[in-house]
Structure 1
Amino acid sequence: MPSTRRVVQCVRFVRRQSANIAAFAYTIFLFMKSDVGTVILPTTSLGISLIGVPEAHAFLEGLIWVTLHLLAFDVRTSYTCLTPNTKIIGLEEDRLSKPHRPIAAGRISVQTSRRLHILFTVASLLDSMRHGLLVHSASYFVLITMYNEGNLSSFWMTKSGIIAVSIGILGSGVVACFDHDRPLSLTSIHAIIMTVLIQATTIHAQDFRDMAGDAAIGRKTLPMLLPRALARWSIGILLLSWSIILVAFWDLPAGAALVMYGLAGYTACSFRAGGTICGLLLAWLCHFSIDFGQ
C-alpha cells in the first residue's frame, strides 16, 4: 500500500542519515583521538582536582569548551602548509605517525578540513565569550598560529613550550567552566603553573611515537637529538625530580608522598623499558598531589 511504502522509505532515509551523522562524528573524533589522553583527560582531571566534582551542566560546559579548542588545533595541524607552494607537512607527518587521522586516511578533503577549522575556531571564540574567557582563546589561537604558520613546531624547545602553555590555557579554561566562571583561586593558579612547567619539561615523552613523522618533515625533537637511552632516562629523572618538588610544594603527608614516588618510579621504569604511557600518568601525578595538598 502507498502509506506502507512511504513509511518504509522514511525509515530507510532516517537510517541513512543516522549512518551519515555517525560517520561524520567519528571522523571528527579521529582528528583528536591521539589527544584525548594527553589533553582532554588531564585538563578535566585538573579541574576536578581543584574544584571537586562539578555539577553535570558545568562539567559539560568545560568539556565542550576544551574540545572545541582542541579540535581547532588538531584540524589546523593536519593540513599545515608553511607556504602556498609547499607540500602539506601536517599530512606527511600524519601518514607516518597518525595514519588514522581523517585527511591521511582519506575520510575527508583538505578543503572540508579548512572549513571545519574556521567553524571550530569561531565556535571556540563564541563559547569563550559566554564564559568570559575570550583572552584565553585569543592567547591560545596566537600560540597555535605561531606553532603552525610560524613553524615553531620544528624545534623541540619552542614546540614543547607552546604546547605546555597551550595546555595550561586549556586547563585554566576548564577550571573556570567547572567553577561557574569564577576567577581562579591562588591554589588554581599555582597548580596550573606547575602543570605548564611539568608539561614543558616532559612532553618530549610523546615524541618517541612520532619520530618517523617528525623526521619526514624535518622536525628536530629531543628523542632525535639525544641518544635513545639518554632520552628515555631523562623522562625518569625528570619524573622523580618533579615528584620531589610536588611533595615539598604541596607539603604532602608521608602516605601520599610514597604513592607519588611509587607511581613516578613505575612510570619511569615502564617508559625506560619502551612504554609510552607517560603523558596521562604524568598529569595524574600532578593532580594527585593537588588533591592531598589543598
Structure 2
Amino acid sequence: MDNYTLLEKGVTTPGPIAIEIADVEHTHDLSLGEGEFSHVWNIASRVPLMLAWIWVNLLVEDIANQRLGGSVVEDAINKPWRPLPSGRISPEQARDWLLVAIAATMGLSILSGGYTASITLMVFVWMYNDLDGSNSGIWIRNALNAGGLMCFSWGALATLSGGELLPEGFTWILVTGAIIMTTVHAQDLPDIEGDMARGRQTVPLLYGEAAARISLAIMVSFWSVACPFFWDASPWGWAASTSIGGAMSVLALKNMGQRWDEVVWKLWCLWVAALYLLPALKR
C-alpha cells in the first residue's frame, strides 16, 4: 500500500511524503497568518488617516453651517458659546477659514482615497446651507442630513480600504442613511426655541413633541436590534447598541426638559458611533 492510500485512509506514516505534506501544511498556515496580520496592520495603519479625513470634512461642514446669518441667530439662542454668536470671529473670517478648510480637505481626500465621498459631501453641505435646504421642509432637511452622514460613512470606509468598498459596505452605507433619516430629529428636541425663532420646520414643531418623541423611541429601538442582526454582532455589539438605544428612548419619552433633551442628543451621537463600530464587532 503506497503512502497516498495510507494518507487517504487517515493513517500516519513516518515516511518522507508525510513529512513533506506536514511541512507544506505548516508553511500554508504560516503564510495565511502572515497574510491576515498584514491585512489587519494595513487597516490599522490607515486609522489616523481616516480620522484626519473625518476631521477636515467635519470642519468644512461645521463652518459652512455656522457662518450664515440664520445660523448665527439660531445659535445665539441655542448655542451662544459658539465662535460667531459669541463674537470671537466674524462671518467674513469664517468664510476665509472655510476656503482654507476646503482646500485642505480636497488635498487630503486625493491622497487618502476619499475624494469622491468628499466631493459628494460638499454638494450636500452646499444644498443644506447655501441653498437653504435646511429650511425647505422637514423631509428634505432629513434627507440632506442622511446624505451628508452617508458620505462620512463612505469616505471613512474608503479611506480605510484605500478606496475600494465591498458590496456589503455599500449596503451598510444605505442602512446608515435610513437610520439617520428616521432618527436624526433627536437633534431637534433641545433646539425647539431656536428653531421657532428661525422659522425652521422640524418634526417636533410640525407634528408635535409627543409624535417626535414616540417616533424617535420606536425607530431607535428598531435599529438597535436590526443593525446588530445585520452584522451578526458579538454580545458586545448587541450590548452597546441596545443599551445606549434603550437609554435614549426612555429619556426621550420621559420629556424631562431641555437639559435632558441635550442628553438625548448626545446619546444619539454615541449610539450612532456604536452602530458604526458594529462591523468590527462581528462574531
**TM-score using structure 1 length:** 0.72
1:157 maps to 2:139 = yes
1:55 maps to 2:37 = no
C-alpha root-mean-square deviation of aligned residues, in Å? Answer: 2.5
In the alignment, is the contact (CA less than 8 A) between 1:264 and 1:285 conserved in 2? no
Q: Percent identity?
A: 25
- The letter of the residue matching 1:70 is L
Deviations 1:174-217 (A, max 9, x none): 222233x1401233222222111101110000111222221111
Distance in 1 (alpha carbons) for counterparts of 2:91 and 2:163: 39
Match for residue 287 of structure 1?
276
Distance in 1 (alpha carbons) for counterparts of 2:44 and 2:279: 20
Distance in 1 (alpha carbons) for counterparts of 2:50 and 2:119: 17
Distance in 2 (alpha carbons) for counterparts of 1:52 and 1:163: 33
- CA drift at 1:257: 4.7
> Aligned match of 2:121 in 137, 140, 145?
140
Distance in 1 (alpha carbons) for counterparts of 2:269 and 2:130: 28
Deviations 1:252-290 (A, max 9, x none): 578865764444323211222243233223314523543
In the alignment, is the contact (CA less than 8 A) between 2:248 and 2:268 conserved in 1? no
1:66 maps to 2:47 = no
User: Considering only CA atoms, is the larger Rg found in Structure 1 or Structure 2?
Assistant: 2
Distance in 1 (alpha carbons) for counterparts of 2:146 and 2:235: 29
> What aligned pairs does 1:207-286 form with structure 2 within 5 A after superposition?
207-252=188-233, 257=238, 260-274=241-255, 275=260, 276=264, 277-286=266-275
Match for residue 93 of structure 2?
112
For structure 2, list consecutive stretches of 5 or more residues without a partner in the other structure.
1-39
Structure having greater relative contact order (Cα 8 Å, sep ≥ 6): 1
Match for residue 107 of structure 2?
126
The alpha-carbon distance between structure 1 residues 60 and 106, as it changes in their structure 2 partners (threshold 3 A), is same
In the alignment, is the contact (CA less than 8 A) between 1:243 and 1:264 conserved in 2? yes
In the alignment, is the contact (CA less than 8 A) between 1:93 and 1:214 conserved in 2? yes
Distance in 2 (alpha carbons) for counterparts of 1:239 and 1:292: 19
Between stretches 235-244 and 250-259, larger displacement belongs to: 250-259
- CA drift at 1:129: 1.5
- The letter of the residue matching 2:140 is T
Aligned residues: 235
In the alignment, is the contact (CA less than 8 A) between 1:271 and 1:278 conserved in 2? no
Match for residue 204 of structure 1?
185
Distance in 1 (alpha carbons) for counterparts of 2:188 and 2:42: 32
Between stretches 239-248 and 199-208, larger displacement belongs to: 239-248
Deviations 1:36-81 (A, max 9, x none): xxxxxxxxxxxxxxx899535x22211221111111121122222x
Distance in 2 (alpha carbons) for counterparts of 1:127 and 1:255: 34
Distance in 2 (alpha carbons) for counterparts of 1:173 and 1:138: 10
Distance in 2 (alpha carbons) for counterparts of 1:288 and 1:110: 36
> Aligned match of 1:183 in 156, 160, 164?
164
The alpha-carbon distance between structure 1 residues 259 and 169, as it changes in their structure 2 partners (threshold 3 A), is closer
Distance in 2 (alpha carbons) for counterparts of 1:185 and 1:78: 35
